Amino acid sequence: MPDMNAQEIWAEVVERVKDRTISPSLWNALEQARGVTVEDGLLVVGFSSADMPLRGHLASGEHKNTIDKAISEVARRPLSIRLIEGTSLADWENAKSREAAAEATREAALRRKQQEVRAGKSWEVVMEQVSRQYAKLPMRQLPQVRARYLQDAIVMVSEAIDTMFPQGEVMDELAERSLARVIEKVAALVEIPASEVALYLLRYRGELK
């Protein structure tokens, strides 16, 4: 028996589901829908824009299992329904393009979130390092001891920047704010303005003359 096309499969599915259910609203939705294509284990079924409100009858858990079972029986292979707006192959291609774009956006957002988490943890480590370094200093109340600590802290923070942003990679806003918090922590420990610590750091890194 030759493979049935999407329209033929859907026409038979509509009849089988109507035989198995008593729901005039579902029957109407089934009849208004159109088989579009079969692709990747899916029977793509579409509604015109005017009929899209009927989509919910086919998508509901109450009916979807019945519809999927009927589809697989008619097609004689496992298939599940995929509902779209539109009734042509072009509409299906457009739907796939929109989904691909949405997925790319989601993946980019996830990568950004993961980067933010990693960066946040990295800066937390730097914050902990500068705090521990200060805490173990003997006679840290003396200005010369604090000055030596400040010099060491500047080196420590600069090395952290080079590790997280190699080859001159530009820091984003999140990183700049995280760096600022570390600078403010060092400044509080040595009791000087944060802008002064930032100035020492930028000069050490050769970013200021």
Dump pLDDT digits (tens) for 56-96.
999 988 899 999 999 999 999 999 999 999 999 999 999 99
How far is the C-alpha of 56 from the C-alpha of 154, rounded, in Å? Answer: 61
**Res 110 pLDDT > 90:** no
**Percentage of the chain exceeding pLDDT 90:** 72
pLDDT, residue 58, reads 94
Residues pairing with 85 in the sheet: 47
How far is the C-alpha of 199 from the C-alpha of 181, rounded, in Å? Answer: 15
Least confident span in 14-23, 72-81, 171-180: 171-180
Of 102, 96, 104, 3, whose CA–CA distance to 44 is shortest?
96
Domain 6-87 fold is GMP Synthetase; Chain A, domain 3 (3.30.300)
Question: Do 79 and 71 contact (CB within 8 A), yes or no?
Answer: yes
pLDDT, residue 28, reads 95
Report which secondary-structure segment, H or E, holds 81.
strand 80-85
pLDDT, residue 61, reads 84
